[in-house]
Amino acid sequence: MTATRPGERSDALVFFGATGDLAFKQIFPALAGLIRDESLDLPIVGVARSGDLDSLRDRARESLRAHGFTDASATRVLTDRLRYVKGSDDDIATFGALRRELGQARHPLHYLAVPPSLFGEVVANLEASGCAAGARIIVEKPFGHDLASARDLNETIHRVFAEPAVFRIDHYLGKEPVQNLLYFRFANSILEPVWNRDHVASVQVTMAEALDVADRGAFYDQAGAIRDVVQNHLLQVVSLLAMEPPSGRTPEAVRNEQFKVLDSIRPLAPTDVVRGQYRGYREVKGVAAQSTVETFAALRLHVDTWRWSGVPFYVRTGKRLPVTATEVRVELKRPPQAVFGELQPPDADYFRFRLTPDMSISLGARAKKPGEAMVGEPVELFASHQSGTERPPYQRLIGDAIRGDQTLFAREDWVEAAWRVVDGVLDDATPPPVYEPGTWGPPEASRVLLRGDRWHEPAETLRVEAGANVVPRLAPAVR
């Protein structure tokens, strides 16, 4: 098993699957951004089954053009630093050539941008060739397809790499709005007095996508909404919302608290979940004619901790919904008495965290309408970031992995705890109710709500057009 060196920089980067889609869409732009912004100066070695160094450099240039990267100097440095090893993942000679190409590098970072089914072969050959000594690896999600496979995958990796040398990358944790959620929670004192079961009535997380599954039909029909985004992205958001303050400033301090949240969530029962499938999904290329895979899921989570006991966490996601947006709404309990006697019971106060497509934080409350009557209306105090200078997630995460910073990477126990939460409701063969594209899923989704609760639909955009980075305003509330 390789020795690990927390905090020590890697001295070379190797990425397997160098001619694949992930390299084209994410890795090349991220590396060019790191060269431009952080003067990245590592040797960069691509490994793939076909092509040569010239074709790899051409593909890197094409990738950067396609993503609007215009820094000619960084582009030139990236292509100059590229090296290439042609071969297959199951050929030990390929890894011998890789070790020679690494030269004096003794602490390489290996990025496995290949399917998880190939991890075992690649890891074994890295060890046999000497490329694993003193190295780290990055592995892409999905980390298994259920609890048993996640455990098997972790065991396979740990035969060669100790946990501190393993970086499980999920771009969602590298997104600036997700980081802002963590920051806002613990950089301010205004939340802590009310951030508990005494004052919070419910927590709602919605990740809506207006798009269909597009050309991912074959993949999606093996996954579904729960595997695709609930088990990872949305449970990550829940863990940030519900975690206790970290006990220190180390990466492990944050990850320890995130794991505790996942470990406290009851495994989902069928009564906690409503699935749905948009009309027309079965006609998508790669989807089975009688598919029962869900494109929509609504869940009720029970977080059994002292802070959150009895507070329902509602999670909802789906394809072909009316908008593309991700929001968190933390609804507070209503005042104990209606002092002003308004006929219609008003919505309770709430915090709303907008994660995509724009980033904002809102406090929803009530204010008196102008006039003689003591009648109110809902308003929001709204703050929106509009700088547009955030680092792309892959650039942030690859840079962190090179530095050995694991804060934004999923730990083994977190991954397995997340699978444990959803494991009991995976692969449900019951045909899910069909919903019309452009609606908010099947009406049955309301079954997961407790009495008196309702779903809150995100608006398509909440961006405030102004020049300042943070714009406070008092405005009509989004219902």
What does the DSSP 8-state code read for residue 231? I
Residues marked as catalytic: 233
- List all residues 6 or more positions away from 422 whose beta carbon is below 8 Å from its beta carbon: 226, 227, 230, 231, 267, 268
Burial of residue 36, with CB atoms counted within 10 A of its CB: 0-12 exposed, 13-18 middle, 19 or more buried: middle
Helices within 199-290 (DSSP H only): 217-220, 225, 235-242, 251-264
The secondary structure of 160-196, three-state, reads CECHHHEEEECHHHHCHHHHHHHHHHHHCCCCCCCCC
Query: φ, ψ for residue 343 (rounded to 5)?
Result: -70, -45
E strand or H helix at 98: helix 92-102
HSE of 163 in the Cβ direction (CA atoms, 13 Å)? Answer: 10
Which residue do the tokens 């595997």 mark? 227
The SS3 call for residue 409 is coil
Distance CA 243, CA 217 (A): 35
